[in-house]
Structure 1
Amino acid sequence: MLLAILMVLAVPCTRASAAVPAGVWLIDGKAAVQIFDCTGQLCGRILWLLTPRDPQGRLNRDRNNPDPALRQRPLCGLTVLWGLRPAGPDRWGGGWFYNPDDGKTYRVSAELRSADLIVARIYVGIPLFGETKTLVRVAHGTSAGWC
């Protein structure tokens, strides 16, 4: 009996992994991100913007970035979600979200609530003081503003 218990304890515990919900997801009607697998983690890049161009007709840039050297990079194609690791079935945590609106990077966790709905918690410090964002799956290329 003791040998059986020791064998069970010696087997490493594995977390239930969450399959990355690949596709295009709309956030607050202002931006859409393409969610993709990046080395077993969940990542996302901007694919659509409600207002993709400035008044001069140029693609919007990352003008609020705290690093002046990065302020000229286009928002289209910019990776804004990264490092989300599986934290259980249909759950991810420990990731990062870069918000081009304020140039700040936040912690993020996410949960797939249905095939077409992700609920994400974006925060600094602890999730309690964060903000909840709802991401809804959309078809790629169905309106103007695509990168």
Structure 2
Amino acid sequence: MSLVVPRAPAWAAVPGGVWLIDGKAAVQIFDCGGLLCGRILWLQTPRDPQGQLNRDKNNPDPALRQRRLCGLTVLWGLRSTGPDRWGGGWFYNPDDGKTYNVSAELRSADLIVARIYSRVRLFGETKTLLRVPHGTSEGWC
């Protein structure tokens, strides 16, 4: 007699920490209700030419254009789709005020590859996120 035990789904552990995107922003990735989320913790240019903290000035909702970019959640809703893989999430880009679909894969302890796209994944853009230590340069929130 053989006993068949169904395998539990392979859930990816949240790759917590701070991750640098394009050398322009660093995002803290964290668990938010079993999903993967991320908020801005560092900006290469944290202030505008007048010395004020950068705001979400390109947001399509005028009521949100005064919120600070520092601390803004820009990544949310990513669900585990397998070992070290997430999908079905959203990425808000403050540079253009648009929200995109996103999927991500942890390639090593210090490297995440994310695919950001509007409708068709094939026509999206690939971003490399590198783990960085928190608080090691100017611009931290």
Q: CA deviation at 1:15?
A: 2.7
**Conserved in 2, the CA contact under 8 Å of 1:15 and 1:87?**
no
**SS of residue matched to 2:63:** helix
Which of 120, 131, 142 is the aligned partner of 2:125? Answer: 131
Q: CA deviation at 1:14?
A: 4.5
CA–CA separation in structure 1 for the residues paired with 2:50 and 2:98? 26
**Conserved in 2, the CA contact under 8 Å of 1:81 and 1:96?**
yes
**SS of residue matched to 2:45:** coil
Q: CA deviation at 1:104?
A: 0.1
Q: Calculate the TM-score normalised by the size of structure 2.
A: 0.95
CA–CA separation in structure 1 for the residues paired with 2:100 and 2:9? 24
**Conserved in 2, the CA contact under 8 Å of 1:110 and 1:120?**
yes
Match of residue 108 from structure 1 = 102
Runs of 4+ in structure 1 over 2 Å off: none
Match of residue 63 from structure 1 = 57
In the alignment of these two chains, the number of paired residues is: 141
What code does the residue aligned with 2:18 have? Answer: V
Aligned Cα RMSD in Å?
1.6
Point out where structure 2 has 5 or more consecutive residues left out of the alignment.
Answer: none
CA–CA separation in structure 1 for the residues paired with 2:35 and 2:111? 18
CA–CA separation in structure 1 for the residues paired with 2:118 and 2:95? 16
Q: Give the structure with the higher percent helix.
A: 1
After superposition, residues 1-147 of structure 1 pair within 5 angstroms as 14-147=8-141
Identical columns (%): 83
Q: Calculate the TM-score normalised by the size of structure 1.
A: 0.91
